[in-house]
Amino acid sequence: MSFHRHRHRHRPRTWAAAALAVAAGLAALTLAPAPAAASPDEHNGADCAVPGSGSPASTSQLPDPFTRLDGTRVSTADEWECRRAEIHELAERSVYGSKPAPPDSVTGSVSSSRITVNVTDQGRSTSFSASVDLPSGQGPFPAVIVYGGFGADTATIKAAGAAVISYDPFAVGAEGTSRGSKRGAFYDLYGSSSGTGLLMAWAWGTSRIIDVLEQSGGAVLRTDATGVTGCSRYGKGALVAGAFDQRVDLTMPIESGTGGVPALRAVAQESGAQPLSSAYGEQPWLGDAFGDYTGNPNALPVDTHQIVGMVAPRGLLIMDNPHVDWLGARSASVAARGGAEVYRALGAEANISYWSDVQDGTHCASRSEWRGPLRQSIEAFLLGTGQAPGVFRVSPAKSGDLSAWRNWQTPVLTGGGDPGDGDPGDGGPGDGEDGACTASYRTVNSWSGGFQGEVSVRNDGTTPLDGWTVGMTLASGQSIANLWNGQNTGTSGSVRVRNTPWNGTVAAGAAVTFGFVVSGGSSAPPGGVSCASP
């Protein structure tokens, strides 16, 4: 099978089958340009105009995901796509190194046991392969690309109905090299002294696997349902793969540590977390340019909450370990909560989950707490059945406070989300009103002995709110174990939650949210919620 692409950062997906042969479980397909399909591209915003230079001013706070380089803020989902392209470009320049434009030619094959990938670009050629392990049942199957062969719960992945593609990222970008003599399939094409780090090289390899899957005709593996996961260094790689290829439907980084999910600014202040200089020097995971920021992360034009936000609104399940200080789980919870604000702005907050509340502290262990949300995520985002877990289970021992790291508010981006999907102003059960300040409650997730709730505070008036307070009453025996994006008075019985310094001003027609975890029973606040504004 083969296809050829124009040397252009973005082009419509315009492939059509010219011939298809299926024999002994092997699908082969030759493709040529045809009318554009509706499915997304590797980088949908590649045609957006991004300034060739310039970056936000240095700041100790997490950069605002919604403020463009020209200083204006996005207000629609369409505008977010080009803002996302800015983040994409800034992250390449400062953190990961460049991901080249799609190659001139990618060819390959897909069978029930193996995928082969052959790439030609700018007169150079390379190849690599990955093994396939199918679940029981009748295909074609969705697939999860598993980095590195350890730390991922492949038994649950297969039990959920997805195939496992075992991907050796070292074949594409090898560890144990100096920055000036990098090796692997990526560097065969783009040079051993390329400034692109291993994480982006591995992401490039993931994209080439997806290219071949798309060509295969879907006889063995589906062409439109792909996930990616990995643990530790491979968790770093899984996050980058999902952020930089919008064809990835489900991204699942596990215990990724510094250079992965944890906010880079926060890592520098988290006791015991791997320092930025250590992550940069241990292996050439990060791009060469990141060396300029290891001692001054405040100068970074991006941070990882924006990389998390790049995955939105697609499926994202972040699994973390609070028992190993080196992994920086507190900083990871900050970045996850910051990235969740992008999901919330797009009306897709149920599509992101973060889970660090686990008992077993062994690095990259297969954990029982994750099996449920892992299966739910595969069913929701790869099989199209059931609902996403949509849960934040943050370990109290490693819970970061997003409000301490941001001074920006989250807009409601028009053109995203669906009516009644939990967006502010749905007016569902438990809504209360006092003047122009309206509060609505929803249960994000529940389990035996607890639940996660979220309250949206909306300004239905014509002038800005200047502060707000939400009241709610918990059932007997319940108490708040964790609360973010608000400041609570009381943890049981009658609880009042007031705004933080950064989200007290709410524009007319806009909304802000806060979330919390309650222990001691799974029932929602029996009296609903009420809102007051001075």
pLDDT per residue as tens digits for the range 401-432: 999 999 999 998 987 544 333 333 333 333 34
Say if residue 508's pLDDT is above 80: yes
CA 394 – CA 356 distance, rounded (Å): 5
User: For the chain, which residues make up each domain, given as ranges?
Assistant: 2-36+76-403, 425-532
pLDDT per residue as tens digits for the range 118-165: 999 999 999 999 999 999 999 999 999 999 988 999 999 999 999 999
Q: Which of residues 494 and 104 earns the better pLDDT score?
A: 104
Look at residues 436, 410, 407, 408 and name the one whose alpha carbon lies nearest to residue 423.
Answer: 410
pLDDT per residue as tens digits for the range 346-381: 999 999 999 999 999 999 999 999 999 999 999 999
Say if residue 108's pLDDT is above 90: yes
**Which H or E run includes 250?**
strand 250-254
pLDDT per residue as tens digits for the range 38-71: 246 899 999 999 988 777 889 999 999 999 999 9
CA 66 – CA 279 distance, rounded (Å): 28
pTM for the predicted model, two decimal places = 0.79
Beta-sheet strands, E only, within 97-249: 105-110, 114-121, 124-133, 141-147, 163-167, 221-231
Residue 209: what are its φ and ψ, rounded to 5°?
A: -60, -45
In CATH terms, the superfamily for domain 2-36+76-403 is Alpha/Beta hydrolase fold, catalytic domain (3.40.50.1820)
Whole-number average pLDDT of the chain? 87
Look at residues 114, 249, 233, 90 and name the one whose alpha carbon lies nearest to residue 173.
Answer: 233
The catalytic position among 4, 10, 323, 363 is 363
Active site residue 232: yes
Say if residue 5's pLDDT is above 50: no
364 neighbors 230 (Cβ within 8 angstroms): no
pLDDT per residue as tens digits for the range 313-325: 999 999 999 999 9
The catalytic position among 94, 111, 216, 232 is 232
- Could you tell me which CATH class the domain 425-532 is placed in? mainly beta
